[in-house]
Structure 1
Amino acid sequence: MTQAFNARALTAIDDLPGSLAQRVYQSLQEAIMSLTFPPGALIRKGAICDELGVSRSPVSEAITRLASEGLVDVIPQSGTRVARFSIEEIREAAFMREALEVAAVEKVARDHTPDQYAKLARNVRLQAMLVEDHDTAGFYQADEEFHALLMEFTGFPGVAATVATIALKLKRPRMLLLPEPGRNDNAVREHLAIVEAIRDRNPDEARSAMRYHLAQLVSRFDPLEKEHPEFFRSRQSH
């Protein structure tokens, strides 16, 4: 089944930073990551050009970049489609994320500076305020910043970049998950447990707290294939 594509939903690029191709890329990526362009949607370059007021060249350049990230599939003689999900790839990405983040939090618990601990503690306090204010979008952003800080504090830029790439594979299916009552409150408590283990320089406890935290999300991915079959690749196409 062909999924809906509406170029009018694209964010205007006039105020975005970077080159023309970079701005087109940002607009397209935002639409894909938010599921405004759902998995399986046929991407019409002409409609994108008309909506954003650009030529085909920056659109093609942006799509090439999106393809390299696994967000679109360029199919000869068929066109370009937003990549459908694969439950195997989701599980693999979750496995890799856990392996890297658990190792990272262990290192941060051992080697962090007082300033790094203060930034993590401040972020968790912000998360709690956002949850109290029912600001779900703000909480998700603070949540992502919390994990990004942990990766940054390893001192290994390549690790941070790798985890960011893996996170892209999980961010889209995460958008399908309906908010569970109390889940954000629990996430704040799980983050706090991680930060307290870091404060205490307890690598074992930090590792355990991170593994528990990540497991809460992974367990919710498996039912998605049955709930939203139109967004997943058929097993035969793997």
Structure 2
Amino acid sequence: MNTPFPVVQGSAAQRIETELRRLIIALELPPGSRLSEQDIAERHGVSRQPVREALIGLARTRLVEIQPQRGTTVVKISVRKMMEARFVREAIETAVVRRACLSFDQQSRERIDDLLEMQDNAARRDDHAAFQRYDELFHIALAEGAGCPLAWEAVQDIKAHMDRVCQLTLPGPEAMLPLIDQHRAIVAAIDSRDEEAAAEAMRRHLTEILRALPRVEAEHPELFSA
């Protein structure tokens, strides 16, 4: 695996939606940013139609708001939506690791070791973007290894509301490295086939964001909705 950012396949609309989603989550398009269909179309060398489709997709996941005659704006971070997303994600991913304890694909298990090593390296060089991508690939590998890849697809649309907060909570290696230890605890419980320990390790991992939320909300009030 040479890069954590594979080339996105699919239609022009899908590629544009994926790229805009990445920029929104990375806060390179911060809350309140206005998005111009014409500018995006020119930048990607396409007509406005696929751009419009991409923005509709982002509106469906509530990352942007489309207002007739007024344009499209990146929405502010909603704590309520983030909490709902975390609740749903916990329900799904604790079920995934319980299932993984019963049966786990060996190829996925080996891939997880590689991903943890690459994520550790990304944290130590303070590469936040790569760290986040390896984090996502770790959770994908858990779902695939447990034989339920659709579980991750269910998580993916809602997790963006958590991801923007995560972007604010990981300022350096000292914040990122403990999360890798939490990943290792999840894997150790799966290896031991301990369903309760695996579910609890996943629950602790997904609760980490709640500890940092009051601080980042106080430090960046302009990014959050009232």
TM-score (norm 1): 0.81
SS at 2:209 equivalent: helix
Structure 1 167/202 Cα, relative in aligned 2: closer, same or farther at 3 Å?
same
Contact 1:84 1:232 in 2 (8 A): yes
Contact 2:123 2:173 in 1 (8 A): no
Provide Cα deviations, 1:168-200, integer angstroms capped at 9, x if missing partner.
221122222242552222122211111111111
1:23 aligns with 2:32: no
Rounded Cα–Cα distance in structure 2 between residues aligned with 1:52 and 1:174:
28
Aligned positions of 1:136-151 closer than 5 A:
136-151=128-143
Match of 1:40 among 32, 41, 65: 32
Structure with bigger helix share is 2
Residue equivalent to 1:67: 59
Residue equivalent to 2:97: 105
- How far residue 89 of structure 1 moved from its aligned partner, in angstroms, is 0.8
Identity %, equivalent residues: 35
Rounded Cα–Cα distance in structure 1 between residues aligned with 2:17 and 2:174:
35
Instruction: Note the residue ranges of structure 2 that are not aligned, 5 or more in a row.
Output: 1-6
Q: Which has the larger radius of gyration?
A: 1
Rounded Cα–Cα distance in structure 1 between residues aligned with 2:51 and 2:123:
38
| RMSD (CA atoms) | 2.3
SS at 2:164 equivalent: helix
Provide Cα deviations, 1:7-28, integer angstroms capped at 9, x if missing partner.
xxxxxxxx86433323332332
1:95 aligns with 2:92: no
Residue equivalent to 1:191: 183
Q: What letter is aligned with 2:176?
A: N
Structure 1 77/135 Cα, relative in aligned 2: closer, same or farther at 3 Å?
closer
Instruction: Note the residue ranges of structure 1 that are not aligned, 5 or more in a row.
Output: 1-14
Q: What letter is aligned with 2:160?
A: L
Match of 2:149 among 149, 157, 166: 157
Structure 1 136/35 Cα, relative in aligned 2: closer, same or farther at 3 Å?
closer
Residue equivalent to 1:171: 163
Runs of 4+ in 1 over 6 A off after TM superposition: none
SS at 2:65 equivalent: strand
Moved more, 103-112 or 50-59: 50-59
Structure 1 97/108 Cα, relative in aligned 2: closer, same or farther at 3 Å?
same
Residue equivalent to 1:214: 206
Residue equivalent to 1:8: none
The alignment of Structure 1 onto Structure 2 pairs a total of residues equal to 220
Contact 1:34 1:172 in 2 (8 A): yes
- How far residue 134 of structure 1 moved from its aligned partner, in angstroms, is 4.3
Contact 1:94 1:218 in 2 (8 A): no
Rounded Cα–Cα distance in structure 1 between residues aligned with 2:128 and 2:217:
24
Match of 2:113 among 121, 124, 127: 121
